[in-house]
Homo-oligomer: A and B are copies of this chain.
Amino acid sequence: MMIGEVAEKSGFSVHTLRYYEKIGLLPTSHRDGGGRRSYDDDVLRWLEFLSRLKDLGMPIRDRVLYARLRAEGDSTIEARRRLLQTYRDALAKRVISLTETLDVLDAKIASYDTTGTPLKGPRK
């Protein structure tokens, strides 16, 4: 696969993929005869996982750290586990908080719908 296809399948732009490689989120690409990057399917699973880490709010420097540990092999499994555990716990809290926010919004929207005036009691 060339970079354009990876971009299309992963949802990251070509620019972003090259940027990710530069900062160490993606391993140094294998190149074809013409110097172009050549990828195999594994990269798509890795990008999907990276995308989840990004989405849950892991900053890029920790994603890079995780990628570096991963590249170092099995000896870093414990470090990776601890890193993921930290973000997992934060995420669990965040899901709870966002669920509360969802309730707050629903209440607010309901107050707009029923009374036409926010934060007042129920209509008689």
Contacts and interface: CB of A to CB of B under 8 A. Distances in A.
B55 A97 contact: yes
B119 A77 contact: yes
Given A74-B117, A124-B49, A88 B112 contact: no
Contacts of A112: 77-78, 80-81, 84
Interface stretch (A2-10, A16-24, A26-34, A103-111): A103-111
A80 B113 CA distance: 11
A53 to B, nearest CB: 8
25 contacts: A45-B124, A49-B124, A52-B104, A55-B97, A55-B98, A56-B98, A77-B116, A78-B112, A80-B118, A81-B113, A84-B105, A84-B108, A84-B109, A85-B109, A87-B105, A88-B102, A88-B105, A88-B109, A91-B101, A91-B105, A92-B102, A94-B98, A95-B98, A95-B99, A95-B102
